Structure 1
Amino acid sequence: MKKSLITGFAAILLLASCKNDRKILDALADYNHSMEEKGYRFGDKITLPKEVTDQAESISISFGDRETSGLTVDPEFFEFGNNEVTFNIKMKDGETLNQDATINVFTKTPEQNIAYEIVAEYPHDPKNFTEGFFIEGSTVYESTGLKGESRLIKYTLGSTVPSQSVKQAPEIFSEGCAMAGDRIYQLTYQSKIGFVYDKNTFKKISEFPLPDAFWEGWGLTYDGKNLIADTGSNDLYYLDAGNPSKVVKKIPVGGNKDIYNQINELEYHNGFIYANVWHQPYILKINPATGEVTGRFDFTKITEEHTKNNSEHVLNGIAFKGEHMLVTGKNWPKIYEVAIK
């Protein structure tokens, strides 16, 4: 009889413990959902629900194979955007609970709205599904996408007739392009390869495998030293121009209230990176030293004009003609010249 009482008491304790654990984990999950939109800034203290802290002897956060017992948003462990983490909670009764969570990190300073004025318009071939776009002098270089339609072309600003063109194999979906010296680099969407062309002859010099970190190729630009690419996330990858399969470093991009998870076509100009965001009417101005979005151009009005009949005809093309910006989009019939105020 005594043995049965002890066994029954242990079962009650286990049930109570399980209920308490569930309550703590539920509180942490609810807290996580409430904080995903609000997010944190670097230096902020992560405050957890009282249901958790009252029962915890210690709390740590793990990031894959790294772990910290500090509950401060430290750039040594956190980066802009979504941070997938696990809370490890050692209870006062010796049990350890684990709860996965997402901690969003934003910038402290809001991005400025940058004023502009459209000063000129040029024709653009509406058949071009624009993925890469830059200009040298009066010559526009463009990478167009879609399987069976992908090309690298160049033409004079104001004309829609290519002076040179290279068509890709039917299975290739071309993406961003950039010039480094006398070479043009072009990414592909899901084929995991890139192409290198001679700038003058448009002959293909070589192919290269995309870095292992890339699941897809999206935008591409050149800062005078490295190629800078993105993969449709909020990360910018610096690539060795001599060996574009090699990642030199990664810079996560952050906004004050937005996580720009689908950065697309890129352009480097005067120390800043400019970026389209897929399916958004914005061009971001990014500080490459920190990844912070310092400013944003709102092209809602002209984007709506081109997407009203097809939502895929999005803003996606940035080039600089002197200090004026050229912008266009996928299957747009126009290129706009913009004076920045």
Structure 2
Amino acid sequence: MNLTFLIRLSAAALVLLTACADPETNTGTEPAVADNAPAIINYQLINSYPHDASAFTQGLVWYNNQLVEGTGQYGESNVRYVDLATGKVSKEVKNHEEIFGEGITILNGKIYQLTWQNKKAFVYDAVTFKQLQEFPINTGTKEGWGITHNGTELIVSDGSSNLYFLNPATFQEIKRIGVADAMGPRGNLNELEYINGYVYANIWQTDDIVKIDPNSGQIVGRLNFADLKSKAGITSNPMDAKAPDVLNGIAYDSAGQRLFITGKYWPKLFEIKLQ
């Protein structure tokens, strides 16, 4: 067995191992690994507001000068209008007990709500909360995590390193991209928000929000919000299922250029400005 043959054999084995390593993260367009580490994005804390500490926040949207929030947990999931100043719920639609709600977004007067493992999503009128449609989640892992839109397409995450672009009328997949930074594919993409041409995503179980180029899939920026936990008075308590949980919730007010951040069971919601 000569040296040339050994080199070729090793290269083939490496390709095979790479292809088989993670079928979920490789189901989309192979992510282009970024040339450089993501830029650190700084922010200024502008204000804090009360937030319903019983809300397992899964999605957050700023719409018509109000917050719209989607919450999770079986028997507790809903979509609600929330007053920013008081944190009080002004209107809500509750899901059935077997539904675990996930991310939400609003496009063309319609609220789109994902579910986690129920393999379906719902569409509501954004004013009346009347359910208009129900559609299956067929992409990737067939789990719903985060959702946003770019004005014409829905953009969905499923816990993998992929983002899926869907037709909002037919819910058919248009394309998918793999998301990566300089270290490779980045999974656990959770709650999403489309801001000025980029997708911002919570990374589940971390204090990070990443900024993603939706054309290349490269992570070009990173924000860390570990200090917000202390400002919200949050301490870890693994024995309490209702204890404040991870960072999750991004809403952008494009008119006021304000960004709102919160988390699951957090008692506060924060207004920040990117720098």
Query: Which TM-score bucket, shorter chain as reference?
Result: 0.7 to 0.9
- Separation in structure 2 between the aligned mates of residue 56 and residue 290 of structure 1, nearest angstrom: 32
TM-score (norm 1): 0.70
- Separation in structure 1 between the aligned mates of residue 3 and residue 225 of structure 2, nearest angstrom: 46
- Separation in structure 2 between the aligned mates of residue 190 and residue 299 of structure 1, nearest angstrom: 28
Aligned 1:303-322 pairs, distance under 5 A:
303=229, 305-310=233-238, 313-321=245-253, 322=256
Residues 1:333 and 2:259 aligned together = no
- Separation in structure 2 between the aligned mates of residue 315 and residue 277 of structure 1, nearest angstrom: 9
Cα distance, 1:137 vs. partner?
A: 3.8
Aligned to 1:55, the other structure's residue is in SS state helix
Structure 1 residue ranges without an equivalent (≥5): 1-19, 21-50, 64-70, 72-81, 87-102
**Counterpart position of 2:83:** 156
Q: Does structure 1 conserve the Cα–Cα contact (< 8 Å) formed by 2:53 and 2:244?
A: no
Aligned length: 259
Query: How far does the alpha carbon of each residue in 1:118-175 deviate from its partner, in whole angstroms, 9 at most, with x for none?
Result: 1100111000000011112421111100000000101221122222111111110000
Q: Choose the corresponding residue for 1:240, options 163, 167, 191.
A: 167
Q: Choose the corresponding residue for 2:128, options 188, 201, 206.
A: 201
- Separation in structure 2 between the aligned mates of residue 139 and residue 123 of structure 1, nearest angstrom: 14
Query: How far does the alpha carbon of each residue in 1:228-260 deviate from its partner, in whole angstroms, 9 at most, with x for none?
Result: 00000111000111012x111001111112642
Larger Rg: 1
- Separation in structure 2 between the aligned mates of residue 142 and residue 282 of structure 1, nearest angstrom: 20
Which structure dedicates a bigger proportion of its chain to helix? 1
Q: Identical aligned pairs, as a percentage?
A: 36
- Structure 2: which amino acid aligns with 1:84? A
RMSD: 2.7
Q: Does structure 2 conserve the Cα–Cα contact (< 8 Å) formed by 1:221 and 1:229?
A: yes
Structure 2 residue ranges without an equivalent (≥5): 22-29
Query: How far does the alpha carbon of each residue in 1:280-331 deviate from its partner, in whole angstroms, 9 at most, with x for none?
Result: 1011111111011111001112236525235870000001123221100000
Indicate the structure whose relative CO is greater, using CA pairs within 8 Å and at least 6 residues apart: 2
Aligned 1:1-341 pairs, distance under 5 A:
53=4, 55=6, 61=12, 83-85=18-20, 106-244=33-171, 246-257=172-183, 259-303=185-229, 305-310=233-238, 313-321=245-253, 322-341=256-275
- Separation in structure 2 between the aligned mates of residue 256 and residue 55 of structure 1, nearest angstrom: 29
Q: Does structure 2 conserve the Cα–Cα contact (< 8 Å) formed by 1:131 and 1:143?
A: yes
- Structure 1: which amino acid aligns with 2:207? P
- Identify if the C-alpha distance between structure 1 residues 56 and 185 changes in structure 2 by more than 3 Å, giving closer, same or farther: same
Q: Does structure 1 conserve the Cα–Cα contact (< 8 Å) formed by 2:202 and 2:247?
A: yes
- Identify if the C-alpha distance between structure 1 residues 110 and 316 changes in structure 2 by more than 3 Å, giving closer, same or farther: same
Q: Does structure 1 conserve the Cα–Cα contact (< 8 Å) formed by 2:71 and 2:79?
A: yes
Q: Which has the higher mean CA deviation after the structures are superposed, 251-260 or 116-125?
A: 251-260
- Separation in structure 1 between the aligned mates of residue 159 and residue 97 of structure 2, nearest angstrom: 23
Query: How far does the alpha carbon of each residue in 1:175-234 deviate from its partner, in whole angstroms, 9 at most, with x for none?
Result: 000101111100000000100000110011111111253421100001101000000011
Q: Which has the higher mean CA deviation after the structures are superposed, 321-330 or 114-123?
A: 321-330
- Structure 2: which amino acid aligns with 1:318? I
Aligned to 1:106, the other structure's residue is in SS state coil
TM-score (norm 2): 0.86
